[in-house]
Amino acid sequence: MHQFEHDDPQRESEQERPTRGFTLPGADGRVVITWLLLAINILVWLFMQLVGGFLNQDVDVLLRFGAMFGPLIATGEYWRLFTAMFLHANLLHLFFNCFALFIFGRLVEGVYGHTRFTIIYLLAGLAGGVLSYMFNKTAIAVGASGAIFGILGALAAYFLANRDTLGEMGRRNLTGLAAIAAINLAIGLLIPNIDNWAHFGGLAGGFIMGLALAPRYTYELIATPLGFTRRIASQSPIGMRWFAIPAFVVLLGVLIWYIGTDVSEAQQSQILVIRAERLLQDGNAMGALEHADRAVELDSLSGQAFYTRGKIMARIGSTDRAKADLSASLRLPGLNQNQRQDAISLLVSLP
């Protein structure tokens, strides 16, 4: 990608004929951040296996390590939008994302440089997380795919920004990247449990930041003993385009704030259940009860809300109300297998 390719020298127009074998300015092929990101993703996954058991996909482990989950983000755990991009649900998930990062990350880092590549990767990953949070408020999401779609978008932006200088080679690469992105997005739509909103958000974020930060090239004439020849040179530094970074960060912040204000009663109930569970763990049963009561009021069909309130009632010695709430939780949707077993055990143990 870093050098021009020509199929037929006789067919090249004078406008599209750069110096042969010329490597683009800044495209020296040095790769540092891509290898670092690969190492981080693999090491985090290995550590998760040590904590949760080999090849374990336990949701609780993912949440402990920072998976995205709308109700937790809404309680103020915004850092999950960042940490989720370094987590993976299983070995196959890790393999495909690392393979894509290995292929495309090296190319994008080569032409953008270490700093700009890091900025694009992280902001595209955050953009994917924000869009996922907006449309999947109750789903648990992990993976680097949003950031990886972001580097695809940045690569497309690079060829678009330099379409006049790179000529036919640049146009072919841009078309190929568009096809790759379209195929992957289509596959995501056909396969269940794929976070397509993260892919769309990452692709858009990477393209926007890539367009702002892409190096621009132009032709310049240089004198040689045989006369003048043309070569490709970098244009002026990025300059004011750096302001795209804080502007994009502000945009993401505004979106996160807006999402937090657009929460349904059922989602508010989930948030209150989580807060009640934490207060109960901290020994504040009465504070937990206040949140649990409100959660039941907001969503009277939530098995989790009744389950949590039933545990609190059992803790404070209100046996009859505990039995009623735990029995209701078993009749309503929302409990996972562990919670159902715990509710049954509690009911059996109550006098």
For residues 2-14, b (16+ Cβ closer than 10 Å) or e, as one string? eebeeeeeeeeee
Task: Find residue 308's DSSP bridge partners.
Answer: none
The token duo for 311 is 């545990």
Verify whether residue 145 is a known catalytic residue.
yes
Place of tokens 């058991």: 53
- 322 vs 164, 271, 327, 339, CA distance in Å? 72, 21, 8, 15
- 108 vs 12, 35, 146, 157, CA distance in Å? 27, 13, 15, 11
Three-class DSSP category at 96 = helix
The token duo for 22 is 């010329």
Going 154 to 160 to 161 to 162, the CA torsion angle's sign is positive
Helix (H) or strand (E) holding 214: none
Place of tokens 């989930």: 270
Catalytic residue of the set 132, 145, 269, 329: 145
List CB contacts of 257: < 8 A, sequence separation 6 or more: none
Place of tokens 């409100």: 294
Cα(139)–Cα(67) distance, integer angstroms: 10
DSSP state of 333: S
Catalytic residue of the set 88, 199, 269, 291: 199
- Which residue numbers are catalytic? 145, 199
